[in-house]
Structure formats: structure tokens, C-alpha cells
């Protein structure tokens, strides 16, 4: 297979060219020529001689050069539009003539051109060849006139035909790199244009200018337009990429048009954070001044939603706003990372990316409705324990059903128990999660190749299933070879290892009473037995090499009979972009996992870093986040490279990644734009508002409208929380609110299964749906409970009940974690010692902030149950919220995470006083707050 050398060489070349250009002009914008470079032999950045373009060599028709089919003829047909979708490259062809789309199946295209019955290529009468005659005659050619007789294009095709129209199918040239000059463009005026030059460097050491054989596109023609000759024209201010494609190479070139400002905007204080420094380098080129840092109320709301998917409690907001410690934002992030919501929300996100679907897992296990719950819990526990990301992926990719030294019967017994509701933690203790391979839409090798690439590489390779990928290097051959790696993985509902079949049959006989049942009747019998607690047979994931072993046995027998016969080759496949084949007489998943972990892997670490980044900013450094193709370049390549490298160095620590991102100024920027960054939505110079995800909105409405005690129970135990894998719904009978707000359907592994787009139905739900009115007026709701509290005598306690409940919640969680720590083996306790100390310090700080005392850690480790929550007596009495002013404050804090302004407070009080009753007025106020844009978007 032919593979383009990627990554380091290409990046180094582009960086070198740009550095040379910048060095020559001492930082000034280059003065680019209005026409292509001189058409003579010259040197590029290296000492290699560069052959002049075909338009020079073939200009007058006197050249005797023989054009190469791969290097010249195929890309020329592409430039002429012959192998495009609208012409002969369509799946049905055009005029009984079909070329491969974008022209990368050289063998098939050559055979099609030389079909002796068509006259397309006539070696004996060159001028009568239809590929010359038709494109020069508009009346004769349905596609119109494409070239002139005597042009360099005509002469190139003519010379190739005249010399035999040859193509050596055994020698496909390897393109080492495609060099583009200049490697970056910075515009300063509307009238500026730049002509690109493309130089192909081949593996045999030759180099040639191929500008006229390239395809040129732009990712945003409003910022930079590009014509078919590679001439780039300046547009609006901003940044984008123009993309150059030739042979297997796809190269993006950054184009920047500075923002022109007539006013001076004060810059925020410089940041020493590495993320901020990388972003600032790009903003300086763009002439953009970033926004200032957001307020504390915005930060706690934003961070709580993004890290845990949860609306912060009013008591937490009050405590945070009154906290005067300079590192309180860092402390908040640490607290959020240790909260139950973090593991729950990120397990749901990983479940989206890996394809955890009730529908696709139907019949995957003999206990109906259990597979999705087991999948989610397996992820949640690992995120709670901060298991490194590569180990989480290894547990999925390398999954086996049985643990080491576990018999088939033991496996079936354990799984039968784990599938019972409430026992999911038993499955989470298992080392592997094989359900990834068991989905109904994941049984064909092609489906697995596409899904694997989506989940762990962040790339879309399905286009290469039929033709060369238009925006990447992958050919159909690359796809087929990659898909071959998954061919022998067997994870069907009735699959077990050969040695397990007898034990499986015995279990079935016990269940059926030796009655011969098949298909649906047998499944129903097994379902019933599992519900009654009887051990039932479970499927196994196996790598089936039976066909290959049989082939090898036949080959050995044949070799004995015919010693001189050629040996039978073991089937093999290829990992994407790798030159070494992977033999398929063994499970190739180990090779895949080893490749994922390589430091120079161009996708694995970047894919998860980019997805996590997108969770916190609403847009990835590469966007869409699962489309990391060569044409879809990062908005800040240096930032992504550095973050991915440091993520690997951290040991694939997901919590480290969140801390690194959320402690940056970039994450903490205000929603308030200035004149320079008003239209910037991809360079992280300001906070761009975005609608909250479906599960987060669903839970936020409940947390805002339910009583404080019920909301606290939801936050601590995740009961009825949609962020916990959407547990409030059955994906076969979807919750209306989650469906309206675009919860991921998980039909594939594509990020596009989730929708964040606004719709009319969303507004109707929040304003008029029965569920909304039911929650606002619920007897367990916050409004009802508040009305009751207003009728009680004040002064009975000096402690705000809501604050006390939050302190008790932290108290209970810490005791549970310390008990869990005590149950660990000595080696595990040593490993987790630092973590339990950090957890204790976090809770101690929180309790003190709430006004409660905590004993020392040694005492707790000795006897956690001896710890009773002790109130630190305040210097003065703190009265409970008994005035309507305080109630209005609480309404704003529990919905918008801020205090109302003076005007908002006055308006709210006046409205409540003029309502039929205080309760109806307060219900209306809550309804109005939940229906504000401020409630359902980040800010």
C-alpha cells in the first residue's frame, strides 16, 4: 500500500518555510507577487532541484517528455473536472465512462481509459483519442469545452498517449510530502492577493512544482477566497485555512486577516498559564484583545455545569461569593472534580462517544435492559477513581468477558447477579467492558472500523469505504485493510468459546427442562430464569481464527505433497497510516492498543483532549470534534499539540486535563465582548454563550424548582438525575424533555448524534408544558416549602437549614470515602494516601466555610463513625431567610447563581405583592427565571 508520510516531516517543513519568510522580512507582512513564481528550475527550502511545472515543459508541444500516469495524468484529469462527482467520477459514471472519484484508483482508471472497445485512448491515431477530441469540442462533449488544442494540458495528454499510454501498476510512487509556499498568509488590506506554489517531494528524491495539478478549496470564502490556480484573495477580518490537495496529500494553509481597530482597547493582565500564552500568540496575529475575567457568580455557574453537569446549590453560591481566599476558583475546581456529579456527567459523555445504546444492545445480554446500565457504571467507577484514560480505553478495546482463571460457569453466575438492578457495581469491578463490541450495528468489520475511528481517533473514515477520502489521505484500500483487522472478532448474542459450549448447553437444559426451544421462545425462557435469580448462559467475545487455522493446515498438507509450491501467506491488515502489516492469525487488538499509546500517534490523545476542550468552550480546537481530517485544521495547532503532549506526560490524567483547562484565563473570560473580539468564536478570546446540553437542562429545572432537601439528595445520590446516563428515561421510550433538547441518540459513534440547536419546542416546553407547572406547584417544591417556612416563627435556630443540609451532605460523603479507604488492601491504601488527604483537606475547608468544625484525619481514620457534625458558634445570630427580600435573593441564586440587581429585586417584590397570593407570585417569578435565556445558556 502507498502511504503518505505524515505528521513530523510535514509540520517541520511548514514551520521551516514560515520561519524563513518571517526572518527575511523581520516580522513584517510579506509582499507577495501577483503572479505564480518563475517557471524555471529552482531550489526549495532544501537543496533538492525542483523540476519546473508542466505548463512550462509542455507549453510549445516540442517536449519529448513522457508524462507519468500517477503524477501527471490522473491529477490533470482531476483539475479538468473529469473525475468529479458531477462528471465521470459519479458512482454511475457518465456516458458509459466511469473514473474513480477524485482519481485515486490508478489501476481501475487506467483500465477504463484503455478499454479497447471505447476509443478513449487510441495509440495508433493519437488525435482521434476521445480524451483529446471531446474536451476540445464544446458541441461534442456534454461537459463542455475543457481544454484547447495545443495547450499544455492537451500536449501532456497527447505525449502520454503517443508513448503508449503506459502505467506500471506494480510501481506506485510514494509521495513524501507536499510543500506549500508560503506556509502561512497574513493579509492587511482588501486588495491583497497571494499566489500559492505547490512542490511535490517524492520518496525517490525527485521534486516537482505541481501547482497547476492541485485542487484548491477554502474553509471560509468570506475570509479568504481561492481560485483554481491557487490565487488567494483577502476578505473579511478573521482566520481560516485554504486547502491544497494533490495525490495523497492534503495540506491546509493558515490565512489571517487582522482586525482593524480605530480605538485603543485596554488589554487584560498578562497570564503565565501555558494555555493563555499559546492563545495570545494567535490573538496577537489577529489583532484581537481578549475579554476580561468573568465574575465569581458566572464562574461558579459555568464551572459547575461544565465539570459536573449540575446547577450549583444556592448555599454553595453564597459561600463562594463571600469567600475571600485568592485561590478559591482553584479550590472550587478541585471540589467539583471530587463530587459525584463529575464521574456521572463524564461517564455519560464517554458513553455517548463509545456508543452505549439501549437499542443497539438489545439482546446483547440475556437479561433485558441491563447492558446500558452496566456499560455506564463501568465507566463511572473508573472516572470516579480517576483511572488513566488510556487504561479505560484498554479495558474496552482489549476486553475479554472472563476474568483471569474464571470458569465459564463462574462467569455466568457473576454476570447473572450483576445484571440485576442495583448490582451494577459488581460488573464495574471487572477488568474489561466487552459490550462495546456487542452492539447490533457493530457486527460487520466495516462498521467496527468506522466506530473505532469515531470513538478513539476522532476521525471520520466512512468516505474511504467507497472512494478516496476527499479531505484526508485515506484511500479505499486503506479503509479495507483497516477494516480487515476487525473481521474475526465475534461478539454475537449466542457466541461462546468452543470449550464453553457444553457448559452453556447444560445451563440451557436446566432452564428449559430439556425442552427444545429456539430463537424468541428460548430467549423469553432465559429472561424469565434470570429474573428469578437462576444462572443463565452469557455470550463471550472471542477472536475467531478457525478459518485461518484451517487454511494453514491445508497449506501444510499441500506443502508435503508439493514441496515446491508457493507457501500460503497468513492474512494481514494495516493500522491506519502504518507501513507494517498486522498478521491475523492472532488477536490484533493488542497491536491497535499499542499504536494508540505511541507518543507520536496523531489522533488518540488529541481526540480526547479536543473533546474535553469542546465541553468547556462549546467548540473544539478542531471542529467538529470527531472530524480530525487534514483539511479540517486546528484553529490553534500549537495549543492542541502542547496540550496533547502534556496530557500524555500526565499519565492520561483526565482530572489533570480539566484542571489545566479550567484554571486558564481563556476558560474564565467574560461573556462581554469588545470591539476587536465581537465576531471571534473560534480563538477563545471571549466566552461564547451556548445552550446547555439536554441532560443538564433537564436536571437544572428540577434542581431549581424542587425543595432544597430534595435537590441536595439529587446532587449527592444522583437520584432522578439525567446526567447519570439519562436514567430518568428508557431510550426505547424517550423522555420528552430530553428528546426536545437534543440528547444524544447514540445511533452511531458520531458526535452529531447530540444536538445543541435551539427550537420552538424547547421554548414551548419551558413555558407551557405540564411538567413545568407540576414542578413549580409541587408540594415538595421550593415554592411550597418556602411558603411554609415564612409562616414559622423565626429565631429558633441560628443556622440556615439549607447550609446545614449541604454541610451534612459533605459530612456523609467523607465518611463513606474514608470507610472505603479503610477497606482497601495495604498496597492500595499506600497508593491512595495522598488522595484521601487531599479529599479531607477539601471537605475541611468547605465545612469551615459553612461554619462547621471537623476533627483531624487521624481520628477519622481510626473511627469514622465517631465524627459528629459540630457547629462553630457564630459571633452573632444568623437568622433564617424569613423576609420576602431574602426569598427573592434565593430564587435568583438557585436559578441564575447570582443576586438580583436592585431593579430586579424591586420589580420582583412588587409583582409578588400585586399577585393573587404570595405563592402564585413566587411561582410566577420562578417560571419567569427558568424561561430566561440566562437560565439555559452558559455565561
The reported pLDDT for the residue numbered 549 is 63
Q: How many residues in the chain?
A: 939
**For position 29, what pLDDT does the model report?**
33
89 has pLDDT over 50: yes
pLDDT in the model for residue 24: 31
The CA distance from 901 to 632, in Å, is 44
Q: What is the reported pLDDT for 141?
A: 67
Please give the grid coordinates belonging to residue 876. 452573632
- Quote the CA–CA distance of 396 and 123 in Å, as a whole number: 57
Give the position of cell 500559492: 196
Residue 333's pLDDT is what? Answer: 97
The arithmetic mean of pLDDT across residues 154-173, rounded, is 87
Percentage of residues of the chain with pLDDT beyond 90: 46
Task: Give the pLDDT confidence score for residue 788 in this predicted structure.
Answer: 80
pLDDT for 866: 67
Identity of the highest mean pLDDT range in 77-86, 279-288, 550-559, 822-831: 279-288
Axis-axis angle for helices 782-790, 884-896 (nearest 10): 160
Lowest mean pLDDT among 21-35, 193-207, 674-688: 21-35
pLDDT value, residue 755: 80
| pLDDT grade for 5, boundaries at 50, 70 and 90 | very low
As a whole-number percent, the residues of the chain with pLDDT over 70 amount to 82
Q: Write down the pTM of the prediction.
A: 0.83
Cβ atoms of 194 and 231 within 8 Å: the answer is yes
Confidence bin at 391 (pLDDT 50/70/90): very high
Confidence of residue 794 (pLDDT cuts 50, 70, 90): very low
Query: Are 731 and 356 in contact, with CB atoms under 8 Å apart?
Result: no
Q: Positive or negative CA dihedral for 228, 232, 234, 240?
A: positive
Largest interatomic CA distance in the chain: 108
Q: Is the pLDDT of residue 58 over 70?
A: yes
Helix axes 782-790, 918-930, angle to 10 degrees: 140
pLDDT at 16: 36
Which pLDDT does position 917 carry in this prediction?
A: 86
DSSP conformation class of 165? -
Q: Which three cell numbers stand for residue 77?
A: 484529469
pLDDT (mean) for 897-906: 95
What gap in Å lies between CA 934 and CA 209, rounded to an integer? 55
pLDDT band for position 558 (50/70/90)? low
- pLDDT above 70 for 801: no
In this structure, the dihedral spanned by the alpha carbons of residues 459, 465, 469 and 475, taken in order and rounded to 10 degrees, is: 110
Neighbours of 780 (CB within 10 A): 12
pLDDT of 772 above 90: no
* pLDDT band, very low/low/confident/very high, at 28 (cuts 50, 70, 90): very low
Partners of 498 in the beta sheet?
Answer: none
| Selection from 112-121, 388-397, 695-704 with the highest mean pLDDT | 388-397
Give the pLDDT of residue 684.
Answer: 97
Does residue 193 register a pLDDT over 70?
yes
Closest CA to 929 of 772, 801, 803, 818: 772
C-alpha angle 50/53/55, rounded to 5°? 165
CB 596 within 8 A of CB 393: yes
pLDDT at position 546, please?
Answer: 67
Q: What is the mean pLDDT of residues 123-134?
A: 85
Q: How far apart are CA 731 and CA 380, in angstroms?
A: 19
Choice among 78-92, 527-541, 715-729 with the minimum mean pLDDT: 78-92
Selection from 129-138, 433-442, 491-500, 730-739 with the highest mean pLDDT = 433-442
Phi and psi torsions of 239, nearest 5°: -140, 150
DSSP state for residue 585 in the 8-state scheme: S
Domain ranges of the chain: 8-52+173-257, 69-162, 369-377+394-595, 691-793+882-939, 795-879
Q: Residue 212: its pLDDT value, please? A: 94
Q: In this predicted model, what pLDDT tens digit does every residue of 846-883 receive, in sequence order?
A: 666 566 776 676 777 777 776 676 766 544 333 444 58
* Mean pLDDT score across all residues of the chain: 83
Q: What is the pLDDT of residues 213-258, one digit of tens each?
A: 999 999 999 999 999 999 999 999 999 999 999 988 999 999 999 9
Class of domain 8-52+173-257: mainly beta
pLDDT for 590 equals 93
Q: Please report the pLDDT score of residue 207 as a whole number.
A: 95
Label residue 304 left, alpha or beta by phi (over 0 means left) and psi (-120 to 50 means alpha): alpha
The whole-number pLDDT of residue 874 equals 45
Distances (CA, A) of 562 to 505, 568, 589, 628: 43, 12, 35, 50
pLDDT for 519 beyond 50: yes
Helix (H) or strand (E) holding 893: helix 884-896
Contacts by 104-108, CB closer than 8 A, 24 or more apart? 104/74, 104/248, 104/467, 104/468, 104/475, 104/476, 105/467, 105/468, 105/475, 105/476, 106/69, 106/70, 106/74, 106/167, 106/169, 106/172, 107/167, 107/169
Q: Which phi and psi angles does 756 have, rounded to 5°? A: -110, 15
SS3 state of residue 543: strand
How far out from the chain centre does Cα 47 lie?
Answer: 41
Mean pLDDT of 892-921: 93
pLDDT given for residue 572 in this prediction? 85
pLDDT tens, 572-603? 889 998 889 998 888 999 999 999 999 999 99
Confidence of residue 728 (pLDDT cuts 50, 70, 90): very low
Beta bridge partners of 226: 232
Range with lowest mean pLDDT among 266-280, 476-490, 875-889: 875-889
pLDDT value of residue 232: 96
Amino acid at each position: 500500500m502507498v502511504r503518505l508520510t505524515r505528521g513530523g516531516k510535514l509540520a517541520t517543513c511548514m514551520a521551516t518555510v514560515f520561519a524563513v519568510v518571517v526572518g527575511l522580512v523581520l516580522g513584517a507582512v510579506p509582499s507577495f507577487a501577483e503572479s505564480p513564481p518563475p517557471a524555471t528550475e529552482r531550489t526549495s527550502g532544501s537543496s533538492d532541484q525542483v523540476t519546473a511545472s508542466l505548463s512550462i515543459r509542455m507549453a510549445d508541444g516540442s517536449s519529448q517528455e513522457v508524462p507519468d500516469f500517477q503524477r501527471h495524468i490522473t491529477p490533470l484529469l482531476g483539475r479538468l473536472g473529469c473525475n468529479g462527482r458531477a462528471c465521470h467520477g459519479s458512482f454511475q459514471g457518465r456516458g458509459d465512462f466511469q473514473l474513480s472519484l477524485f482519481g485515486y484508483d490508478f489501476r481501475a482508471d487506467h483500465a477504463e481509459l484503455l478499454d479497447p472497445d471505447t476509443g478513449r485512448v487510441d495509440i495508433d491515431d493519437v488525435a482521434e483519442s476521445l480524451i483529446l477530441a471531446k474536451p476540445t469540442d464544446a458541441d461534442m462533449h456534454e461537459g463542455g469545452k475543457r481544454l484547447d488544442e495545443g495547450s499544455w494540458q492537451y500536449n501532456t495528454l497527447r505525449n502520454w498517449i503517443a508513448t503508449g499510454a503506459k502505467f506500471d501498476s506494480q510501481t506506485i510512487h510514494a509521495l513524501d510530502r507536499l510543500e506549500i509556499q508560503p506556509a502561512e498568509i497574513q493579509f492587511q488590506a482588501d486588495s491583497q492577493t497571494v499566489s500559492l506554489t505547490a512542490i511535490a517531494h517524492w520518496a525517490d528524491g525527485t521534486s516537482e512544482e505541481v501547482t497547476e495539478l492541485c485542487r484548491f478549496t477554502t474553509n471560509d470564502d468570506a475570509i479568504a477566497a481561492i481560485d483554481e490556480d491557487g490565487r488567494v484573495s483577502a476578505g473579511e477580518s478573521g482566520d481560516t485555512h485554504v486547502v491544497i490537495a494533490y495525490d495523497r496529500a492534503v495540506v491546509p494553509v493558515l490565512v489571517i486577516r487582522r482586525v482593524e481597530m480605530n480605538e485603543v482597547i485596554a488589554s487584560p493582565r498578562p497570564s503565565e498559564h501555558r494555555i493563555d500564552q499559546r492563545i495570545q500568540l494567535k490573538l496577537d496575529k489577529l489583532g484581537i484583545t481578549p475579554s476580561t475575567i468573568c465574575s465569581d457568580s458566572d464562574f461558579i455557574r459555568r464551572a459547575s455545569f461544565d465539570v459536573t453537569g449540575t446547577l450549583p446549590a444556592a448555599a454553595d453560591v453564597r459561600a463562594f461569593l463571600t469567600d475571600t481566599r485568592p485561590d478559591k476558583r482553584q479550590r472550587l475546581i478541585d471540589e467539583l472534580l471530587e463530587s459525584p456529579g463529575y464521574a456521572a456527567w463524564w461517564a455519560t459523555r464517554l458513553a455517548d462517544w463509545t456508543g452505549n445504546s439501549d437499542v443497539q444492545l438489545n439482546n446483547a445480554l440475556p437479561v433485558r435492559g441491563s447492558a446500558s446500565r452496566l456499560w455506564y457504571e463501568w465507566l463511572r467507577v473508573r472516572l470516579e477513581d480517576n483511572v488513566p484514560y488510556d487504561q479505560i480505553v484498554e479495558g474496552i478495546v482489549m476486553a475479554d468477558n472472563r476474568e483471569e482463571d474464571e470458569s465459564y460457569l463462574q462467569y455466568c453466575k457473576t454476570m447473572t447477579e450483576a445484571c440485576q438492578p442495583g448490582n451494577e457495581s459488581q460488573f464495574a469491578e471487572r477488568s474489561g467492558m466487552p459490550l462495546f463490541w456487542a452492539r447490533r450495528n457493530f457486527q460487520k468489520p466495516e462498521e467496527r472500523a468506522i466506530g473505532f475511528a469515531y470513538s478513539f481517533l476522532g476521525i471520520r473514515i466512512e468516505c474511504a469505504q467507497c472512494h478516496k477520502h476527499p479531505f484526508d489521505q485515506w484511500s479505499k484500500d486503506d479503509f479495507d485493510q483497516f477494516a480487515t483487522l476487525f473481521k474475526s472478532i465475534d461478539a454475537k448474542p449466542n457466541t461462546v468459546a468452543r470449550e464453553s459450549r457444553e457448559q452453556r448447553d447444560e445451563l440451557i437444559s436446566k432452564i428449559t427442562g430439556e425442552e427444545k426451544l429456539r430463537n424468541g421462545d428460548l430467549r423469553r425462557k432465559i429472561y424469565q430464569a434470570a429474573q428469578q435469580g437462576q444462572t443463565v448462559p452469557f455470550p463471550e467475545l472471542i477472536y475467531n481464527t478457525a478459518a485461518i487455522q484451517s487454511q494453514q493446515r491445508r497449506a501444510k498438507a499441500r506443502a508435503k505433497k508439493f514441496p515446491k509450491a508457493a507457501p500460503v501467506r497468513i492474512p494481514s491488515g494495516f493500522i491506519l497510516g502504518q507501513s507494517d502489516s498486522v498478521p491475523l492469525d492472532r488477536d490484533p487488538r493488542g497491536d491497535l492498543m499499542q499504536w494508540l499509546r505511541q507518543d507520536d500517534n496523531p489522533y488518540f490523545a488529541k481526540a480526547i483532549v479536543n473533546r474535553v476542550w469542546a465541553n468547556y468552550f462549546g467548540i473544539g480546537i478542531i471542529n467538529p470534534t470527531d472530524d480530525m481530517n487534514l483539511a479540517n485544521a486546528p484553529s490553534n495547532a500549537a495549543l492542541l499539540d502542547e496540550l496533547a503532549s502534556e496530557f500524555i506526560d500526565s499519565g492520561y490524567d483526565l482530572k489533570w486535563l480539566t484542571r489545566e483547562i479550567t484554571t486558564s484565563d481563556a476558560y474564565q473570560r467574560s461573556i462581554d465582548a469588545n470591539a476587536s473580539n465581537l465576531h471571534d468564536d473560534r480563538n477563545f478570546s471571549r466566552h461564547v454563550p451556548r445552550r446547555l446540553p439536554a441532560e443538564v437542562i433537564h436536571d437544572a429545572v428540577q434542581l431549581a424548582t424542587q425543595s432544597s432537601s430534595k435537590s441536595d439528595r439529587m446532587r449527592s445520590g444522583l437520584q432522578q438525575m439525567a446526567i447519570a446516563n439519562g436514567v430518568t428515561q428508557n431510550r426505547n421510550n424517550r423522555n420528552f424533555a430530553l428528546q426536545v433538547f437534543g440528547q444524544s441518540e447514540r445511533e452511531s459513534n458520531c458526535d452529531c448524534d447530540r444536538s445543541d440547536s435551539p427550537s420552538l419546542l424547547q421554548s414551548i416546553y419551558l413555558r407551557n408544558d405540564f411538567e413545568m407547572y407540576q414542578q413549580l406547584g409541587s408540594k415538595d417544591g421550593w415554592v411550597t416549602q418556602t411558603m411554609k417556612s415564612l409562616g414559622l416563627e423565626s429565631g429558633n435556630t441560628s443556622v440556615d437549614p439549607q447550609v446545614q443540609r449541604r454541610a451534612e451532605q459533605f459530612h456523609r460523603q467523607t465518611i463513606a470515602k474514608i470507610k472505603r479507604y479503610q477497606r482497601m488492601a495495604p498496597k492500595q491504601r499506600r497508593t491512595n494516601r495522598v488522595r484521601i488527604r487531599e479529599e479531607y483537606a477539601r471537605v475541611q475547608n468547605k465545612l469551615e466555610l459553612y461554619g462547621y468544625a471537623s476533627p483531624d484525619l487521624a481520628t477519622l481514620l481510626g473511627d469514622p463513625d465517631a465524627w459528629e457534625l459540630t457547629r462553630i458558634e457564630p459571633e452573632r445570630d444568623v437568622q433564617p431567610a424569613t423576609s420576602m427580600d431574602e426569598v427573592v435573593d434565593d430564587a435568583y441564586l438557585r436559578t441564575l447563581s447570582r443576586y438580583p440587581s436592585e431593579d430586579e429585586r424591586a420589580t420582583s417584590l412588587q409583582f409578588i405583592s400585586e399577585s393573587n397570593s404570595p405563592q402564585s407570585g413566587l411561582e410566577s417569578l420562578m417560571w419567569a427565571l427558568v424561561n430566561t435565556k440566562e437560565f439555559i445558556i452558559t455565561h
